[in-house]
Amino acid sequence: MSEKTKKGASSGEVERYVLRLFVSGATLRSTNAIANIKAICERELAGRYQLEVIDIYQQPDLARSHEIVAVPTLVKSLPAPIRHLIGDLSEEEKVLVGLDLRPKKDGP
């Protein structure tokens, strides 16, 4: 797949999202994060996302190269800007804002 994700508005093409979820084995927090982000992606980004789940125990070098300091961590690399979301991704509104799918609400 090409790294180009934002496509020309005049051609009717859409933005693709490239996401990596770093987890630590099959812990409850990791499995919840996987289920949560898959549900959000299928509902909000159906057909226009790539999600890679990376176990830091199996691929520690990849976690180090992405400077992962806590897990689960979701990294949105495309479309820019790069974003890191830490936790089990259960607070859906925060995930949607972090992925730039919803505007951040002002106020308290």
Show the tokens assigned to 79.
């479309």
pLDDT for 13 equals 66
pLDDT for 14 equals 76
pTM over 0.85: no
pLDDT for 104 equals 76
pLDDT for 56 equals 96
pLDDT for 64 equals 93
User: Tell me: domain 16-98, CATH 3.90.1570.10, correct?
Assistant: no
Whether omega before 103 lies within 30 degrees of 0, making that bond cis, reads no
Sheet holding 17-23, edge to edge: 49-55, 17-23, 73-78, 83-86
Question: How confident is the chain (108 residues) per 10-residue block, as mean pLDDT?
Answer: 42 81 96 97 95 96 93 96 95 94 72
Domain ranges of the chain: 16-98
